[in-house]
A and B are shown apart, each in its own frame.
Chain A
Amino acid sequence: MGLLDKLSAWLGGGRAELTVLVLGLDNSGKSTMLNALRPPELRAQHVMPTVSHQQDRFQSGGVSFSAWDVSGAPRHRALWERHYRAAHAVIFVVDAADHLRLVVAREELELMLAHPDMFGRRAPLLVFANKSDAPHALAPMLVAAALGLEKISDRPWHVCASSALSGAGLADGVAWLAAQLRDAHVPKRN
């Protein structure tokens, strides 16, 4: 029984939960984004830098997600690859106002996509050009160009401006992701 069969069995059972990996450099707003996706009563007042990783759950478009939020600190980035195998999709959060580190984000993204556990899989990639409300923030298309997303041909990707603090743009991006995963996993059931 393959991975996809297992998945469709879960989806058929109505308890569909897909693992999505939330990646990005430190201070790009990963935890804040997940915090904004929570119901209002469960939101944390202050988001602290994540050490190692934490898990969070949210729902969109009839798909429930189990999100792995991993630390983006340079010395923890080597641990990202441990989660690749289990991930059905990747959310990559970029600080669109941090022009200096766009190259670093690009490098990390390329390393991730070239990893044996990620390469050749059709796991969708959602890029959030976060902090879009900050002064000097780049437009999502410019972020896509800076990250070299146009070169990705082996998986669906989508870039989306967002502001994790206010929650703007998050729902759109997550809805795209849910639609992608439904398309990929639901037909298998029949």
Chain B
Amino acid sequence: MVTITRWLDVEVGTGDVGLNTLPANLALLDLQNDNEFKLVVGDLGRGDEGPKLKVFKGAMQTADMLLPDLPLAIAGFYANEVVPRSTPLIAVAFSSCVYIYRNMKPFFKYYLPSIELSTLEMDVWNQLADPNNHSTEALTIISETLKTIPDKILSMQSRNFLSLTPDEQLEYLEQKSETPTWKPPEIVCLTTLKLSSVERYSASCLVVGTEDGDVIVLDPQTLTQLSQAKLSSVKKTPYQMVATGLYNVDYRITVATREKSVCILKRDWTEGRLLFSTQDHIIAIEVVTSDNSIMVICTDNTMSCYTRKGKKMWCVTLEHRPVAMTTVPVMHLGVTLIGVALASGHVHLYEGKARVDTIFVRDVVSVMKFGRLGQEEHVLIIVSGSGNLMLKILKRTADFNSHSAGVEMSPSVAAGQKPWLIPKKSKLFLEQSMRERENALSMHETFQFELNKLRLLTAKTLLDAHAKSENSVGAGAMELLRLTAEVEGLGPVFRITLMVENTSSDKAVIGLAILFHVHTANYKVTKPYIKIPLLSPGGKLKFPTKIEEVFEDNINPDVFFRPVTGEGGERSLVKILLLKEERRTPVLAAIVQMPPTDPLMLPFDKLQAAGGFQEGTEWDVGGK
């Protein structure tokens, strides 16, 4: 089968782009405020090349800028909503601070608030500072207490200290004058959250997740802390955050953690809650904005969907290890697809758990993002493992009906790990089951009786239809013929398009004719008898015929009260017969119910002849 692709490949220049980046290091921004969206990439650099911030216009790199450190994440946002629009700011997160760039120039630095050491650790350091303890024996004892503190809350300094040999430790303590009381926080992820409007160009807050499990929201204008919350009561390290909603109204920050769990943080919460835990490590999460359901890909080769409340809805086993995920919102089709890139070099698009498209990219995807680039709304941006940039544009004519190109149902979908939905036993249910047990025999008899009555009625109707030749499907040798009719127009002249189709694959049919069977007082048909030429196998012929509704000279004002969209009653039935030479009974029959003529299209002269308007005597609106 020839599969028609839904994507247009953009010719990317032969020059080696050599990108080495992370999913969080990609942003699509209208950098020059000219409605031409640029791709901004925080490049980690390769070999002796340092980290850089690169700007791409289409597939062409237009600017780059050296960065002071490895970028952890970048995000673009607007600081305010002034008119005319100001240029967007780019936030780049480094180890413990966020640099804000405006017009590709450093503009502001934000340092995270430092964290106090735990009392236990501080105690240890106070003891270490005491010169009396500066002996190898004392040090080993104190180091033991330091080792009992869980690794996660231990500061970098303590960890380094523990890794030293006792002699080095002594030397270190003698050189060191003050005891540490705080440690610098480490940023792990960065995202944006719209402040008060969902518009594309509205101001948004920066949301920063730290190694210690804090989530900090920054004011877009002043870049000061608006709120801070712990991720969870147990220490968890965020890994990827997705913010939905509006800061000033209501928002949800969905956070994937390194501890195989997903937490949620809402407005006015000082501490997040665990939403659900996964079986294996999370590779990426995405939140579908329409219903806040959460998609998770895990290292056990599964993609799962959870409701906003954290209930597992379904789970699909993927053929290969997933490496990246992105949402693919296609607004004009009203769907949000989920794109999953696999280690095999395929990108699968899912609508719910049904796979609707597969793209083969010939290379392992490293980062994937879908959004507006240049002036094109639907661009899939793929950075491959070897550093190439691939751009794919969704065709305007693409649709994602599951029957169309390139889809085969994966067997794992049918297997389904969804638990059975068993309702609780209600009192009503118990009573019903009791009744069923007691009267099983009579119930069965009644059912069988009714079933037989239904079968009899069906058979009678069929026989009746056959006798009156009202069957719309042929019988016997003529079974393969189809007759359909379509009515167009507002009246009084309608057009009936008859379609005669021969569905046989090898037999042609000859000698057919169409006959219209109407009451001449009601309708006038221009060609009541049409001879059909030879109909080839698989052939289809259309016969448009004009049919006019006939009104009496004294038009009845009742016609005004015929519902326009409804049917015209008994008189509006038109019977169309398909005849075959040398057969007495029609092959097929179709009954068309003609729509009533639009009251505005009624022949006006006849209305006046009726004279119902002037006198108004025969008008009895309620009397019908």
Contacts and interface: CB of A to CB of B under 8 A. Distances in A.
A, B assembled together: yes
Contact of B9 (A77, A103, A108): A103
Contact of B376 (A77, A78, A100, A111): A100
Interface residues of B, number: 20
Interface string A74-106: 110110000000000000000000111111101
Contact of A111 (B58, B379, B397): B397
B393 A104 contact: yes
A75 B332 contact: yes
A146 B393 contact: no
Contacts of B35: 27
Contact of A103 (B10, B60, B375, B377): B10
A99 B59 contact: yes
Contacts, number: 50
Nearest to B37: A100
Interface in B169-188: none
A177 B332 CA distance: 36
A117 interface: no
B294 interface: no
Contacts of B238: none
A172 interface: no
A101 B332 contact: no
Contacts of B11: 99, 102-103, 146
Contacts of A103: 8-11, 393
B126 to A, nearest CB: 62
B272 interface: no
A122 interface: no
Interface in B58-108: 58-60
Interface in B368-396: 373-377, 379, 391, 393, 395-396
Contacts of A99: 10-11, 58-60
A167 to B, nearest CB: 23
Interface in B6-25: 8-11
Interface residues of A, number: 20
Interface string A97-125: 01111111011100100000000000000
A135 B157 CA distance: 53
Given A75-B332, A107-B8, A146-B11, A101 B396 contact: no
A100 B8 contact: no
A133 interface: no
A77 B397 CA distance: 10
A136 interface: yes
Contacts of B58: 98-100
A74 B377 contact: yes
A17 interface: no
A101 B375 CA distance: 8
Contacts of A27: 35, 375
Interface string A128-145: 000000001000000000
18 contacts: A26-B375, A98-B58, A98-B375, A99-B11, A99-B60, A100-B10, A100-B373, A100-B374, A100-B379, A101-B376, A101-B393, A103-B10, A103-B11, A103-B393, A104-B376, A104-B393, A111-B397, A146-B11
Given A25-B375, A77-B396, A100-B393, 5 more contacts: A99-B10, A100-B375, A100-B379, A100-B391, A104-B393
Interface of B: 8-11, 35, 58-60, 332, 373-377, 379, 391, 393, 395-397
What 8 pairs across the A-B complex have the smallest Cβ distances?
A: A100-B58, A103-B8, A100-B374, A99-B58, A74-B396, A103-B10, A107-B8, A101-B376
